[in-house]
Amino acid sequence: MTITNNDVIKWLQAFDQVITEKKDYLTELDSIIGDADHGANMFRGFQAVMTKLPSVQDKDIGSIFKTVGMTLLSTVGGAGGPLYSTLFIQAGNRLNGKMELTLLDWAEALEAANNGIVRLGKAEVGDKTMVDALTPAVQALLEASKDGKTMEEGLRMSADAAKKGMESTIPLVARKGRASYLGERSAGHQDPGATSSYLLLEAAADVWTKK
């Protein structure tokens, strides 16, 4: 099974629905250790993305991703805008010209995306950021591809790894971003960026395994 450009559009539409449903939850998480705007910002950004999708639905996947990234950069405030923009632009650069993806293509694209976020935010696993969810998801995808797993197996493994990474942020003391200002008080709370990153990959697994 491969992922087509149309599948990517469906995934983005599904994630927009997830964000619509979860925006208050994400903002609640962010109100404890951040600026209380992550859910609202992501909602605004993906509402803007939805208006752009008709113009790129027949384009290659790299172009779709880069359009999403540029749209998020111009509409999402706070740290989330540049970080999510980087995620999609870096993945898009890796997927230039591709109309469909193998499991390895997706693994390498997400790896490029995560590396871009690490460079931009200067974060690593354990800092209580979206990197805590994305890094294990990338590792799971690469291992699944190496081991000859099916697309469905790889997608589920990545979503499960992202969930565990998200949950691992709860006891951590934040070392990056607005949450780091709280010091020890940031412990005991789930990171909102890691949460939205998990939701992104969970949506991919849900949509793409139902083909």
Residues 72-125 pLDDT 10s: 999 987 778 899 999 999 999 999 999 999 999 999 999 999 999 999 989 999
pTM value is 0.95
Domain boundaries, the chain: 3-208
- pLDDT for position 33: 84
Residues 82 and 73: beta-carbon distance below 8 Å: yes
* pLDDT tens-digit map of 54-66: 999 999 999 999 9
CATH architecture of 3-208: Alpha Horseshoe (1.25)
123: left (phi over 0), alpha (psi -120 to 50) or beta: beta
DSSP string over 97-121: T-SEE-HHHHHHHHHHHHHHHHHHH
Residue 181 has pLDDT above 70, yes or no: no
Mean of pLDDT values over 201-207: 98
